[in-house]
């Protein structure tokens, strides 16, 4: 399956997967607790600088956040309409910062490393007879398919626009569904072959 992982190493590649997941969890909790618009603006600027520090290869993936920018503008517009624009701006900044942090993790962490962290976190459940390896694999595959789905959509959108079509056209849904089903079938065959031995 296609991946967003950057093969060109950055400073964030050097950090272990568990530390990045822990930092993302703590940062996500901190973002929810911040209620000051000025503080959230400062955090947003800091997250943007961190993202930019990953280099040009990571910055090319910024276009993946265009849909999120539209959602952020809709949130701001809605809160402006109900008479509370500050809350809308705070929510939009929080959403953008959290998504950029998650994208940084995705770009700089291999799938196998994430899977290993999940297996380690679930390992205490083995004493209760829970098949932790399969649960970790299921969670990992869900994350991997979401990543693959995003890359497929991006490639189809680029090809569609190159042929003169509009960006994010509904006409892309059918070929996207076909490609997603093909990927799922290949993964299912590989898992059946592996688990059957």
User: Is the model more confident about 173 or about 90?
Assistant: 90
- pLDDT at 163 (0 to 100): 73
Dig out the tokens for 103 from the structure: 């994208």
- The CA distance from 174 to 19, in Å, is 39
Cα 33 to chain centroid, rounded = 22
Provide the sign of the torsion angle of the four alpha carbons 73, 60, 154, 40, taken in this order.
negative
Burial of 49 (C-beta count, 10 Å sphere; 0-12/13-18/19+): exposed
pLDDT band at 54 (very low <50, low <70, confident <90, very high): confident
Residue 46 has pLDDT above 90, yes or no: yes
- pTM of whole model > 0.95? no
Least reliable range by pLDDT among 11-15, 40-44, 129-133, 179-183:
179-183
Residue 91 has pLDDT above 80, yes or no: yes
Helix (H, G, I), strand (E, B) or coil at 54: coil
pLDDT, tens digit, 9 for 90 and up, residues 157-167: 767 677 765 65
CA torsion angle for 156, 160, 166, 168 (degrees, to 10)? -10
Residue for token digits 């490639």? 155
Task: Report the run of H or E that residue 70 belongs to, with start and end.
Answer: helix 66-81
Higher pLDDT, 188 or 104: 104
pLDDT above 70 for 176 = no
pLDDT at residue 72 in the model: 83
């Amino acid at each position: 399956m296609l991946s967003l992982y950057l093969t060109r190493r950055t400073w964030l590649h050097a950090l272990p997967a568990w530390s990045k997941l822990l930092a993302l969890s703590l940062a996500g909790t901190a973002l929810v607790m911040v209620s000051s618009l000025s503080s959230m603006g400062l955090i947003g600027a800091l997250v943007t600088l961190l993202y930019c520090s990953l280099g040009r290869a990571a910055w090319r993936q910024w276009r993946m956040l265009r849909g999120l920018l539209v959602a952020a503008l809709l949130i701001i517009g809605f809160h402006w309409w109900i008479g509370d624009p500050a809350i809308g701006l705070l929510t939009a900044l929080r959403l953008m910062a959290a998504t950029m942090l998650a994208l940084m993790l995705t770009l700089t962490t291999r799938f196998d490393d994430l899977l290993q962290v999940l297996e380690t976190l679930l390992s205490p459940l083995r004493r209760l007879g829970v098949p932790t390896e399969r649960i970790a694999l299921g969670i990992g595959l869900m994350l991997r398919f979401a990543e693959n789905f995003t890359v497929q959509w991006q490639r189809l959108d680029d090809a569609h626009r190159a042929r003169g079509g509009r960006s994010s056209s509904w006409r892309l849904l059918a070929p996207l569904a076909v490609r997603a089903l093909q990927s799922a079938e290949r993964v299912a065959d590989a898992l059946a072959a592996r688990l059957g031995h």
